[in-house]
Amino acid sequence: MTPPVLDSFGRVIQKQIDHWEPRSGVALALAKIAPHYGQSGNLVKTVTRVSTFFVQQGLGDRSEHVRKNMLDAAVVTVNLHGKVSAEALLPVFEEFMENAPKSEVYDNVRQSVVILMGSLAKHLDSTDPKVRPIMRQLIIALKTPSQQVQEAVANCLPPLVPAIKEEAPEIVSKLIATLLGDHVSYGERKGAAYGVAGIVKGLGILSLKQLDIMGKLTEAITDKKVCLLYT
């Protein structure tokens, strides 16, 4: 940071300057070199080291531009190498989720880590016990009032749904209750819609009837109170 310029009375005449561009360049470079980590001779170690950097520093950068590029690079890394590095990466993500302070300062990182956990879960067997807690974290993340986060979570859900198939009716019921809730924010309702869409995609089109999703939505459409909520 370039310090602010003050006048003789201590008043700010030029704000401090954050030179975020080089840090953004680092993120872009990490995304580009991710396919070549295997050439280092120790792929898992390299991927773990880079992912630890993302969680501890990159994803929490003070610049929104840098955070976005860091998340993109982290997702590329997990998508490319998650299958062979899952056992090493999951503890990195879980440690942050368990130990990070519950404050707004860490919200951006927490949301990004949830997305990375969802991406990582795609590489786990559906019977792996680690899939269920990841799925729960993804459902919670749908409440984040960010379309980017909600879309990313929805894209992670379909391949994970078979692992929690027996719990799907209850999850969908809660999401629809949120979607049609009277005192629920627009962001949460939108997230619930993304969640229902992701689960239906994972279960198949027949789930619309099996879980009575269409029936509940049709009933809501004819409810004047609900209609007023969306007008």
Question: For the segment 203-222, what is each residue's pLDDT rounded down to a tens digit?
Answer: 898 888 888 888 888 888 88
- What are the φ and ψ backbone dihedral angles of 217, each rounded to 5 degrees? -70, -40
CB-based burial label for 94 (10 Å; 0-12, 13-18, 19+): middle
d(CA 70, CA 25): 10
**Nearest residue to 189 via CA among 220, 212, 158:** 220
Residues of the chain with pLDDT under 70: 40-41, 224-231
End-to-end CA distance of the chain: 46
Question: Which residues lie across from 5 on neighbouring strands?
Answer: 14
Three-class SS state of 42: coil
SS3 194: helix
pLDDT of residue 51: 96
Predicted pLDDT of residue 40: 60
Distance between CA atoms of 112 and 71, rounded to whole angstroms?
A: 7
Question: Ramachandran region of residue 219, left (φ > 0), alpha (ψ -120 to 50) or beta?
Answer: alpha
Which residues have a Cβ under 8 Å from the Cβ of 116 and sit 6 or more positions away? 51, 54, 74, 75, 78, 93
d(CA 177, CA 189): 9
Contact between 31 and 73 under an 8 Å Cβ cutoff? The reply is yes
What region does 2 belong to: left with phi over 0, alpha with psi -120 to 50, or beta?
Answer: beta
For tokens 């939108």, name the residue.
190
